Amino acid sequence: MEKTLSIVKPDGTRKNIIGEVIKRFEQRGLRITALKMLRLSQDEAKLFYIIHREKPFYESLTSFMSEGPIVVMVIEGEHAITMVREIMGATNPKEAAQGTIRSDFATSVEHNIVHGSDSKESAAYEIPFFFSSLDIF
Ligand code: DAT
Ligand code: MG
């Protein structure tokens, strides 16, 4: 069993599709083992996305990520990291496969509804960023 971190981003909570995102994960047999809603400050968003600190979109990404509430969750299952990435679709919604969350709901590369850890290493940073081991069922 593998664990990954997913986030319904501020555009997703604004569009009222928290349940839609969770449903797509659950329908593929993945389990939500921790869940909460919160709002990040821009400094917290910068720390979460520290790996992108040199990118030209770092300021605008972290400003967007702190503009409203987000829903963060730990998802568990076989190949959870790859499966969540598949269900999300490509970063750029124009390149995302049909039927993926980003293809169906994202409006731009930046406003792309959902986050998912891209590797075991990322998950190992991102899960404890939001949850203590006691929060995860
Ligand atoms: P992903 O979220 O698919 O893992 P990423 O890790 O490359 O993508 O980038 C993190 C987020 O940064 C992404 O979800 C949206 C934003 N982003 C990525 N590339 C971008 C770009 N070229 N212009 C604007 N925002 C971008
Ligand atoms: Mg990423």
Residue-wise pLDDT for 21-57, tens only, equals: 999 999 999 999 999 999 999 999 999 999 999 999 9
Alpha-carbon distances, residue 72 vs 56, 69, 77, 94 (angstroms): 25, 10, 17, 25
Q: Which ligand lies nearest the alpha carbon of 112? A: 1
Enter the pTM of the model: 0.98
How crowded is residue 2: how many other Cβ atoms within 10 Å of its Cβ? Answer: 17
Q: pLDDT tens digit string along 49-83?
A: 999 999 999 999 999 999 999 999 999 999 999 99
Pocket around ligand 1 at a 6 A CB cut-off = 52, 57, 61, 91, 109-110, 112, 115, 118
Tokens 């970063």, located at residue? 91
**Percent of the chain at pLDDT above 90?**
100
Catalytic residues: 115
